Every structure is written in structure tokens, then in C-alpha cells.
Structure 1
């Protein structure tokens, strides 16, 4: 199964939390419209997981839809059956300022923070396993 991705991340900064303090390294985004993948893992709630992206106060910053895919050429993606060394692509679509219904068991937050303009996405912790490649759908961003 091949799929094109429409991911609404504008930019990602990775943070290095060290004794020197917090420093950000900007990442040049790639166009995910051109990305092709193999089959997607189907978990307990389906091939995608819908949840809320929440802040430390428990308010929603937006909607979060996630999935995990195998490389091109995989017709099914079942990790215990895949060859050792298979590289998986984790896809997280963040839609700020809206929060669609969550899949169980994720509770729906009471509060939702509004956003007028989003041009940066940051983490305040190290993203274990992150390879330094991130991007968004240039086509979706142009339409927004």
C-alpha cells in the first residue's frame, strides 16, 4: 500500500536539554507530498490513532492523529513478522486550534486553546529515535 501524506506541521525544532540550558536546532522541512510508504500497522483502534495534543495544564492545543508505516514494498506491516532491522516511519499530524473526538482510551480535554497563526512546532524534550528528518505537506499548507 502506498500513501501520500498530508501533514500540517510547519516546522520542527529539536531541543537539547543539557547543563548549558536549552538550545534549539532548526530542521529544514521536507515536502511530505512526495513521500511514499508501505503498509500501515493496524493497532487496537485501527491504522490511525486519534488523540488530543495537550499542554501541562491539561488543555488541548489541537488534534493529533498518528500512524506507523513500513517501508515501500511492504503489503502488510506486522512488526513481529517483519525482518530484523525494518525501519518504521512514525507519522504525527498536528492540527492546532481544533480537537476532533479521541479514540478510546484517550479522554477528551475540557479546554481548547485557540491559535491565530502557527509557524513553528517545538518539543521541550529529546525525541528518542528521531533521525532529524521532518516536514509537512506543502500542498496542504498552501491551501490553508
Structure 2
């Protein structure tokens, strides 16, 4: 027994020595997964006054894919109900701003028709979606769309699913018979930050045709150390 213990001792010492020389494992960051959000309806009549910017209370954008117009977007940002004049610099801390985007598809959309049909075979086209191309700064988890308009444009009030992917908001059509030409759907989301101005921060995709959309967007919130006094 004593001989066995003496032979085993060098092995124990060697094992201990090797553990000290091995490099510490590097932690692998876990990629953030898309998060499903609960969609809510919105009664526009319950909003307060709109922010009036250099372009007025609303920003209109023509949505084009190549040389074809696929629709148009009208956007605005409103203060909470009861606010008669919405001036971000004069609003109290904690004010919630509602970003509203009304998208109307073109009546005759040659770009989407070409993407959906090639030759004699009908090709399954990508799902239609509307999204932010940047992180939704100040997002307070309140988001949705008009269910009545979704019923009219898509055939179902629950036709749209909303997710957050790395901070970017995505409204994706998951049910219904496709977005009908000439119909309108209103998308909305809320932020604790007012818009910094118009930005090319939105994207519409219909039947494989994509168009960057320009609308009001909040700037990234600065850390307390980098915030300058007004």
C-alpha cells in the first residue's frame, strides 16, 4: 500500500502543475435572440398635440424600389393626451412620445408583382414587413398597430407579429391574404426620448421589394457623464 501511494504522488503533483499553466477559458458572449412583443391597438384620438418640426407636424415620404413607387409613409410624433402644445424642450421629464407611421401601398405596384411571379410558376415571396433599421432609442415596450386597418388590408386583425431584434423593432405580416394595394396600415411605438429629427431609420419590404423610409427618430440617449447642461 505504501509503495502505491508513493507512485501516485508524482501524478497528483503533475496534475496540479498542469492546471496552473492552462489559460483561463474565455467566456463566449451569448447572442441576443429576437424577443416577441405584445401588440396593442391605438386610438389616435387619445393622443395629444403633435410635435411641429421644420417640415410641419407630419413628414411624408415616397417609398420607392428601383424606379417603381411601392407606397408612401406619413409619420408624426405626439405628446400624451391632454397636451395642447408639444414642445420637447418644455415637456417635463418622463414624458412619453408616441411615434406613428401610416403606410399606404400604391394602387398599381409593378415591383411587387414582378417579385411575386416569375414565368409560369408562382414563387413564394418573402413576408411583408416594416421595421426600424436602428435601435429604438428610449423604447418603453409599448408598441402596436391598427387592428381595424390590418383586418381591411390583410384580412385578419392578428395578421401582424412584432419582435425586437437587437433593439430594432420589426412588424411582420404572418397571416392573411397579403397586403392589399391602396390600403393603409398604421404602426406605432413609444419612446421616452423626443425625435432628434428626420432620419433614414425605417424600411418597408413588400413581396421582396425594399424601400428605405425617412421619418422622425430619437437620438441615442447619452450617458450622464456625457450629458451637457442646457
Normalising by structure 1, what TM-score? 0.58
C-alpha distance in 2 between matches for 1:113 and 1:142 = 24
**Residues 41 and 47, structure 1, Cα contact 8 Å, conserved in 2:** yes
1:48 aligns with 2:58: yes
1:87 aligns with 2:96: yes
Instruction: Tell me the equivalent position of 2:149.
Output: 140
Instruction: Tell me the equivalent position of 1:78.
Output: 87
1:98 aligns with 2:73: no
Q: Number of residue pairs matched? A: 113
C-alpha distance in 1 between matches for 2:147 and 2:54 = 31
Unpaired segments ≥5 residues, structure 1: 1-18, 100-111
Structure with the larger RCO, 1 or 2 (CA within 8 Å, 6+ apart): 1
C-alpha distance in 1 between matches for 2:149 and 2:62 = 21
Instruction: Tell me the equivalent position of 1:105.
Output: none
Unpaired segments ≥5 residues, structure 2: 1-28, 117-124, 154-230
State the Cα RMSD in Å.
Answer: 3.6
Q: List, as ranges, runs of 4+ consecutive aligned residues in structure 1 with deviation greater than 3 Å.
A: 19-22, 52-55, 57-62, 115-125
Normalising by structure 2, what TM-score? 0.39
In proportion to residue count, which structure has more helix?
A: 2
Q: 2:112 aligns with which of 111, 114, 122?
A: 114
C-alpha distance in 1 between matches for 2:54 and 2:140 = 27
Output one character per residue of 1:85-142: Cα deviation in whole Å (capped at 9) or x when no partner. Answer: 32211112234x439xxxxxxxxxxxx8427785543445422212222111111122
Choose 1 or 2 for highest CA Rg.
2
Q: Shift in Å at residue 32 of structure 1?
A: 1.6
1:29 aligns with 2:39: yes
